[in-house]
Amino acid sequence: MKRNLTSGAKRKLRQDFFLSSFIFLAIFIIVAIKFLGLGALVILIPLFIIRRMLVRRYKRDCYILENGMTKEAYLFKYQKTGLTINNLVQYAAYFQTTHNATEITVIDKTFYKEKLQDDYKYTLYYSPKYPDKCIVLEFRNLTINETFESEQSSARQSIQEGSKKTLSSDPAIKNDSNNGSPFF
């Protein structure tokens, strides 16, 4: 199933993976090579590897959201991952679901502990290509309407249809004594 992601959803995913900060990194690399010479490349090679991993993870998540299948699952366990950024602790949420008649454990990560609720039904987006990886929109502070363009267009159409119905609905009630109202 092919869905189109909105630019706002792509921007939030990029921010999750810190890709926007790599523009600054590129400028830093150019300046470091100019003033420190090629010896600076030895220090910067790990940064290139980390960036490549982040870009790959961002592209995988976009692929899962655009082409993935949806499945509802219950959270059965969550635990701290040991990563803390700006005093926010990252949690790994574990779901069990079936894929091709085999039971798999699917993991998604979040910084929002208040969104982790036991015995709450979550909608997972997962791809058969990566059955152990999933995305829960609530964990990324996204909603269906702001993530997928088709959902936004269908929401706009229903709003327009609703406004047409209210404009063309029943004509105003006539003020005559036969309308059965006890207030006239």
Render pLDDT for 118-172 as a digit per residue (tens, 0 to 9): 767 888 898 877 777 888 888 888 888 888 887 666 555 555 565 555 554 444 4
pLDDT tens digits, residue range 29-71?
777 778 877 777 777 777 778 778 888 888 888 899 988 888 8
What is the full DSSP assignment across 28-42? HHHHHHHHHGGGHHH
Predicted pLDDT at 184: 34
Is the overall model pTM greater than 0.85, yes or no?
no
Residue burial 126-157, b: 16+ Cβ < 10 Å; e: rest: bbeeebebbbbbbbbebeeeebbeebbeeeee
Query: What's the maximum distance between 2 C-alpha atoms anywhere in the chain?
Result: 95
- CA atoms of 47 and 55, how far apart (whole Å): 12
State how far Cα 83 lies from the chain centre. 20
- How confident is the model over 6-34, as pLDDT tens digits? 888 888 888 777 755 666 677 777 777 78
